Amino acid sequence: MVASVLAMIAHAGQAVVSGADNLVSWLQTLLYVNAIQPMLFHVGMMNVDEDTYDALYWVIVGLLEVGLMYALLRPLEALVPAEKWRDRKGVGVDALYTWVTRLGILNLLFFFTMQPFFDRAQSALRLMGVKTVDLDNLWPGVTTQPLVTFAIYLVVLDFFSYWYHRLSHRYGIWWELHAVHHSQRKMSLWCDDRNHLLDVIGQSCMFAAVALVIGVPPAQFVVLVALTNFVQSVQHANIRVHFGWLGERLVVSPRFHRRHHAIGYGHEGTHYGCNFGVLFPWWDMMFGSASFNREIEPTGIRDQLEGTRYGEGFWAQQGYAFTRIARRLRSGSRAAADVRADARDDATVT
């Protein structure tokens, strides 16, 4: 009985996903045949014909996603804002990050530069006899349903995303990259994509590698990325929304995630922060990093109040991260030298 109900739900969900895929595929072909392919032919780049067609799928999904998130979240930000600002200065650069990320520009770069590496890695794994994890057959007749399998993939990927995120707060050099994201003090629907490019590449590599190991099909991978991105846009939106006691513990809400961005707690916390969950708060609850707090707190990084610079524009934010990394490395070298000097002094006295 349970299996039959799950199968019916899975079938309905699959029909929706299939319809969306057909729409994107139709737009992909229409745009490619009438605009992209003639341009590639004109500039003599038909050698990347197939790769460009495949990458165009990401661009169309991203375009539809940005339109949907703006149509749904921007009105909510105006009607029920978590914070009221005098102006929206500084939000524009986050919108730039979103367009660059969601329209597939970085995905295109990743595709052309990193895809050969992953192809060689996958071939090497096959030669060594390493196979993908077969999650589809955990419960024959149920987990073989595409929507159920999709849900399993989502949970597994979110588990690894939780640890990637948590560790990015733990290690200093890695944190300086991730700090670009946390330095925005006006959280909005755009600021999820405000990330250092090296951090984006790291996240993309991790997500793709885990998906490869657990056997995520390419079509489902696109949907997983799009869904994860959209939910994170909801979490970062400047909206005063509470999901209730149960809802807050089922999915990461804007209020739960705002606590993660709070000055003096979200990053620093008892040890190095709280509420690292990307989609689900379960991992925070399981590993002792959850903080359910309804207060609307100022967001950002404490040392911004002391004058530390994180940059206002896109390239400034990218560049200042390296400046902070260099400063941290110099401090570490000086500390190590002091320790060695103390050890020599102790040995001399002895």
For residue 52, what are the domain limits? 2-106+128-346
- The alpha carbon of 186 is separated from its chain's Cα centroid by a whole number of angstroms, namely 19
Average pLDDT, the chain: 81
Say if residue 270's pLDDT is above 50.
Answer: no
3-state secondary structure of 329: helix
Residues 262 and 302: their CA atoms lie apart, in Å, by 9
Token couple for 105: 């520009």
**Which region among 7-21, 28-42, 195-209, 288-302 has the lowest average model confidence (pLDDT)?**
7-21
Token couple for 317: 């934010």
Q: What pLDDT score was predicted for residue 350?
A: 54
Specify the long-range contacts of residues 149-155, CB closer than 8 Å, at least 24 apart.
Answer: 149/220, 150/13, 150/17, 150/220, 150/223, 150/224, 153/211, 153/214, 153/216, 153/220, 153/224, 154/224, 154/227, 154/228, 154/279, 155/280
- The alpha carbon of 145 is separated from its chain's Cα centroid by a whole number of angstroms, namely 26
Residues 309 and 222: their CA atoms lie apart, in Å, by 36
The backbone torsions φ and ψ at residue 142, rounded to the nearest 5 degrees and listed phi first, read -115, -60
In a domain? residue 117: no
In a domain? residue 325: yes
3-state secondary structure of 299: strand
Q: Which of 99-113, 257-271, 310-324 is modeled with the greatest confidence?
A: 310-324
In a domain? residue 121: no
In a domain? residue 225: yes
294 pLDDT band (50/70/90 cuts)?
confident
The backbone torsions φ and ψ at residue 299, rounded to the nearest 5 degrees and listed phi first, read -110, 160
133 pLDDT band (50/70/90 cuts)?
low
Say if residue 132's pLDDT is above 70.
Answer: no
In a domain? residue 45: yes
In a domain? residue 261: yes
Say if residue 335's pLDDT is above 80.
Answer: no
pTM of the model: 0.83
6 pLDDT band (50/70/90 cuts)?
very low
Say if residue 126's pLDDT is above 80.
Answer: no
What Å distances lie between residue 168 and 88, 180, 203, 213, CA to CA?
28, 12, 10, 22
142 pLDDT band (50/70/90 cuts)?
low
Say if residue 250's pLDDT is above 60.
Answer: yes
What Å distances lie between residue 100 and 63, 121, 198, 318, CA to CA?
11, 28, 14, 14
Q: Pick the residue with more confidence: 148 or 324?
A: 324
In a domain? residue 278: yes
Residues 121 and 256: their CA atoms lie apart, in Å, by 38
Burial group, residue 294, by CB count within 10 angstroms (0-12, 13-18, 19+): exposed
Q: What pLDDT score was predicted for residue 26?
A: 84
User: Closest Cα to residue 232, out of 200, 271, 205?
Assistant: 200
Q: What pLDDT score was predicted for residue 185?
A: 92
**Which region among 126-135, 166-175, 199-208 has the lowest average model confidence (pLDDT)?**
126-135
Say if residue 344's pLDDT is above 50.
Answer: yes
57 pLDDT band (50/70/90 cuts)?
confident
User: What average pLDDT score do residues 85-107 get?
Assistant: 82
- The alpha carbon of 51 is separated from its chain's Cα centroid by a whole number of angstroms, namely 24
Neighbours of 227 (CB within 10 A): 14
Q: What pLDDT score was predicted for residue 331?
A: 81
Residue found by looking up tokens 């100022």 in the block = 298
**Which region among 37-51, 67-81, 217-231, 273-287 has the lowest average model confidence (pLDDT)?**
37-51
3-state secondary structure of 262: strand
Overall number of domains in the chain:
1
Q: What pLDDT score was predicted for residue 188?
A: 94
- In eight-state DSSP terms, residue 272 is T
In a domain? residue 267: yes
Token couple for 311: 């940059």
Q: What pLDDT score was predicted for residue 134?
A: 65
User: What average pLDDT score do residues 267-279 get?
Assistant: 76
